[in-house]
Structure 1
Amino acid sequence: MNKKRANFTGTIGFVMAAAGSAVGLGNIWRFPYLAAKDHGGVFILCYLILAVTFGFTLLTTEIAIGRKTGRSPLTAYAAIQPKWKGLGVLACLVPIIILPYYCVIGGWVVKYFATFVTGAGSAAAGDDYFAGFIQGQYQPIIWMFIFFIMTAFVVFNGVNKGIEKYSKILMPILLFLIIGIGLYSLTIKHTDASGVTRTGLQGLKVYLIPNFKGMTGKEFFVILMDAMGQLFFSISVAMGIMVAYGS
């Protein structure tokens, strides 16, 4: 007798889980860095155009493949076209490859969270704190495994009691934190060595308004490729995630 596949109990759970796989380190950490590096508004414009065209197409396609086949990414592509079996293998290899990367950085996050909760936030804000931590012999590895165990616990509990349950709890918290950080960033002021003061509102203007003045074709191509790469992080495509969620 075949075991019944677990599914999300509702649309909210699916949306929260899908957003949780996308709105993570790739957007909170990497996105602002790329936007600052790639002329702010120009990067945002390229990203949005790619998201509503190329990204939307990929996203809906992967979800549709999962819905149609009801299989894991490993076998879903082959179920549609036997010649696509290799795509399923590649889609499953990507999460395996990036898992150690995410566990290391996730360990950093858990470490800093524990530091702030225990009242040592001032020390953690120091310039040398992070360098001292990552150069330690055991601490980075210990915190990496703590994060790995936490992640494994959620996955082990399955779709309903694991991924969906914790996504409904953690995603609203993350949204609250992002809004708080965004509002706080608008109040920041910085005066450089020449005495020029820049505010968060000025940064927001650079962030939102595209400025192509003086930009070369090569620079624009680099920005376009950065936006394309960020898109894959943002919507979790080409990793088998949306195929699995759609199934």
Structure 2
Amino acid sequence: MAESNLESMTRSSWSGKWAFILAGAASAVGLGNMWRFPYLAAKYGGGMFLLTYLVLVFTFGVSMLLLEITLGRASRQSVIGAYAAFDKRWKPLGFLAAAVPFIITPYYCIIGGWVAKYAASYVLDSPADIASESFFGSFITSEFSSFFWMLLFMAITFVVVALGVKRGIEKVNLVLMPALILMAILLSAYTLTLPGAVDGLLYYVKPDFSKFSPELLVGALGQMFYSLSLAMGIMVTYGSYLLPHEDIVSSATRIGVFDVGVSFLAGLMIVPTSFVALGSGEAVAAKAGPSLMFGTLPTLFESLGAMAPVVGCVFFLLVLFAALTSAISLTEACVSIVSDGTGWSRRKCFIITVAVMVIVGIFVNLGYNRLSFIEPLGDGSTLLDLFDFVSNVVLMPIVALGTCIFVGWVIKPKVLIDEMKEGSALKAEKAWVAMIKFIAPVLIVIILVSYVAAQFGFVSF
């Protein structure tokens, strides 16, 4: 199949199985691995959370990856066309799935811009300035700097997608993924040399079964679901580029291995280091999300003295690479959705996608300055919080639940099983069917109910 570029309407294809695995892993490895996984691991007893997460990834997670990848390859379409190819009555579910990457990509690029700013700051500014309490707040509320870094991050993402699947996405992943893993290993090794880091390491890797709780299970379940890029339209789109007879089962499993590996390394970098400075897992857990990434860690890096600029720059480059690989996947999914839905040239669909992303990104970013008076989810919330809530907390679980019902009860699992067996040895066929028909829907409902309740303060994760 001919390579896709901006001039061609011929469907793209991966050059081989490993190109697809790297792309899928690059999509799965993102900001959630870097700032949310370590916080959850610290909060829920370290080793017990790791063990639970591992079990969930290689049961529920890989099962859902198999479903989405196979749906894409069997239909040779992105999400809207994929559902319609099997039953046109379910096309509305495809539209819901298509909305997810269009909502996520603009605000993801805003956060990617934050990371790019910090990576550059460790070259241009002093660690003390970066660690100051006002640095992050002044940056995100600025009326120039925050927009500049968002647009720069978008520009890099869009250039890669413009080059197409083989010349752009494959080649960039071939560089960024090994570099990301190498930097994660080096930083992890360095952090373990810090005084007191061994106590943090033991807390992080040693399971304490007394720590297991329903809250831990829900936290690990939600992290796994969002980390693997499920229900974002990405895996269906990437699966549609996969050639017949490629081994889907082993590919999905390896994507899960990459996700677990990078998540583990992220925790290995952050939890022992933060443990040294803050003294306990609970103290680390209190510094969630942006507070951990852009507040606590720069303070810790400053304490490293002469090594602070090096460690800070390498760490934020690592996070930047992770953010870029996911943003590229999200943007590619959007371009593919527009192309499949309209039949227009890839060039035209790419330009439309870029225009939408830039306009929406600027609008969401205004929520930190000119539109900061809009607090859609209550006191202190921003437009970015609203977009995150609608996409991650509401739409993604609904799409995943609908997909399980669609495959498990409408078109029947055998349709996708036959496609999986083209090039794959599906040894756990009955277990996969049971997961899709019965277990996954229950787990997805738990995610949906729990995280909506958490958003409105009824529970805490």
Judge conservation of contact 1:27–1:233 (CA < 8 Å) in 2: no
The percent of aligned pairs where both chains have the same amino acid is: 47
Kindly indicate whether residue 207 of structure 2 is the aligned counterpart of residue 201 of structure 1: no
| In 1, Cα distance between equivalents of 2:64 and 2:47 | 24
Runs of at least 5 residues in structure 1 that lack an aligned partner in the other structure? 190-198
The code of the aligned residue for 1:148 comes to: M
Kindly indicate whether residue 232 of structure 2 is the aligned counterpart of residue 239 of structure 1: yes
Q: 1:149 aligns with which of 152, 155, 160?
A: 155
Q: 1:220 aligns with which of 208, 213, 216?
A: 213
The code of the aligned residue for 1:44 comes to: L
CA shift for structure 1 position 123: 3.3
CA shift for structure 1 position 124: 2.4
- For 1:137, the equivalent position in structure 2 comes to 143
- For 2:207, the equivalent position in structure 1 comes to 210
| In 2, Cα distance between equivalents of 1:96 and 1:181 | 34
CA shift for structure 1 position 58: 0.3
Judge conservation of contact 1:35–1:43 (CA < 8 Å) in 2: yes
CA shift for structure 1 position 49: 1.2
**Which deviates the most, 42-51 or 79-88?**
79-88
| In 1, Cα distance between equivalents of 2:102 and 2:117 | 23
SS in structure 1 of the partner of residue 98 of structure 2:
helix
Q: 2:179 aligns with which of 155, 173, 188?
A: 173
**C-alpha RMSD of the superposition:** 1.9
SS in structure 2 of the partner of residue 112 of structure 1:
helix
The code of the aligned residue for 1:182 comes to: S
The code of the aligned residue for 2:94 comes to: G
SS in structure 2 of the partner of residue 7 of structure 1:
coil
Runs of at least 5 residues in structure 2 that lack an aligned partner in the other structure? 1-7, 241-461
The code of the aligned residue for 1:176 comes to: L
CA shift for structure 1 position 33: 0.9
- For 1:17, the equivalent position in structure 2 comes to 23
C-alpha distance after superposition, 1:185-217 (max 9, x if no partner): 21233xxxxxxxxx222212111222133x5xx
CA shift for structure 1 position 120: 4.3
The code of the aligned residue for 1:229 comes to: G
Kindly indicate whether residue 38 of structure 2 is the aligned counterpart of residue 32 of structure 1: yes
SS in structure 1 of the partner of residue 92 of structure 2:
helix
CA shift for structure 1 position 51: 0.7
CA shift for structure 1 position 143: 0.8
| In 2, Cα distance between equivalents of 1:3 and 1:108 | 35
| In 1, Cα distance between equivalents of 2:22 and 2:139 | 33
| In 2, Cα distance between equivalents of 1:111 and 1:54 | 36
| In 1, Cα distance between equivalents of 2:90 and 2:59 | 24
Judge conservation of contact 1:46–1:227 (CA < 8 Å) in 2: yes
The code of the aligned residue for 1:225 comes to: V
Higher relative contact order at CA 8 Å, sep ≥6: structure 1 or structure 2?
1
- For 2:84, the equivalent position in structure 1 comes to 78
CA shift for structure 1 position 121: 4.7
| In 2, Cα distance between equivalents of 1:205 and 1:83 | 53
- For 1:114, the equivalent position in structure 2 comes to 120
Structure 2 length as normaliser, TM-score?
0.48
Judge conservation of contact 1:70–1:76 (CA < 8 Å) in 2: yes
Which aligned segments of 4 or more residues in structure 1 are displaced greater than 3 angstroms? 117-123, 125-128
- For 1:192, the equivalent position in structure 2 comes to none
The count of aligned residue pairs is: 233
| In 2, Cα distance between equivalents of 1:46 and 1:75 | 35
| In 2, Cα distance between equivalents of 1:120 and 1:159 | 39
Structure 1 length as normaliser, TM-score?
0.87
Kindly indicate whether residue 95 of structure 2 is the aligned counterpart of residue 89 of structure 1: yes
Kindly indicate whether residue 188 of structure 2 is the aligned counterpart of residue 182 of structure 1: yes
Q: 2:222 aligns with which of 216, 226, 229?
A: 229
The code of the aligned residue for 1:67 comes to: R
- For 1:6, the equivalent position in structure 2 comes to 12
